[in-house]
Amino acid sequence: MGQIVVTPRSMSAPIHPSLDRLREAGYEVITPAPGKQPDEQQLIEALKNAQGYLAGVERISRSIIEAAPQLRVISRNGVGVDNIDMKAAREHGISVMRTEGVNANGVAELTIAHLFAACRRLDYHASSLKTHTWQRRKGCEVKARTMGIIGYGRIGRLVADLCRGLGMKVCAFDPFIDVASVESAGIRFVTFPELLQCSDIVSLHAPVPEDGKPVLDRAALNQAKRGVIVLNTARYELLDAPAVRDALDDGTVSVLTLDAFQSEPPDDWSLVDHENVLATPHIGGFTAETVDRVADAAVDNLLKVLKGE
């Protein structure tokens, strides 16, 4: 019936069992870079005869889309589509599908792991002991501290629930939701400046703005409470990297955690290398349960479009 290109690292090496359903439906499954993120030339070559594309976080440019004349659907194994040239996809009649909500629990749990790791500097203490060095840094407890959540979608709401369970105060900012329609027991909705001024910890769970401008830029950081902890398990582009580096240097930001980067692995390691940055290699949705849920949903989305449903 045709070819389907599969690029997510979590599905291409080893081959995820959900891909058997594509073969059973009569499609040939192509994995251009098993276990790695393919580059543009690999994608252009792989997609030239493809009807479907099960995509990861790699950049999908206009050049790639125009090199795939038979392509009918791009199915993301996640929710973000800022890596896709959506205008080009629309112009070529290509459906873009997302697996909304299925990775929310894994990302929310990792956010809480980042929270504890940052508050107790687990990275510093663990690495010190690995070198047989007995050194300690005083941490802080999360109970009664204020968590500011930017973006109150599925993941933001799960994080809010978990933080409330830890005895934290929670405030949230999201300009795209109707606050009156949201179940928000114990959550205080505030303006963006208010959130920055009152939060001990700020956690990012928003998409990249349409204008591409970072949410935490120099002006925003200047409004933040001194010594704020910033958790970013969403998108690297939400940060103004040079401004954040300066804020880490002068103590405005005490700790930054990261789980996503502009390119993976990153081209620019300057933030990761900072002594007050704790980074993980995009593992928010990389749990056994999430990989299975996302894979099944992405395959479902592909087949629905290809079957005309």
Active site residues: 235, 264, 282
In the chain, the amino acid numbered 2 is G
Please name which of 122, 106, 153, 64 lies closest in space to residue 290, comparing C-alpha atoms: 106
Q: 86 with 96: CB under 8 angstroms?
A: yes
> From the DSSP assignment, how many helices (H) and strands (E) are in the chain?
12, 12
DSSP 8-state secondary structure symbol assigned to residue 60: B
121: left (phi over 0), alpha (psi -120 to 50) or beta: left
CB proximity list for 168: less than 8 A, separation 6 or greater: 142, 143, 144, 145, 146, 147
Report d(CA 90, CA 68) in Å as an integer. 14
**Tokens read off for 62:** 């206009």
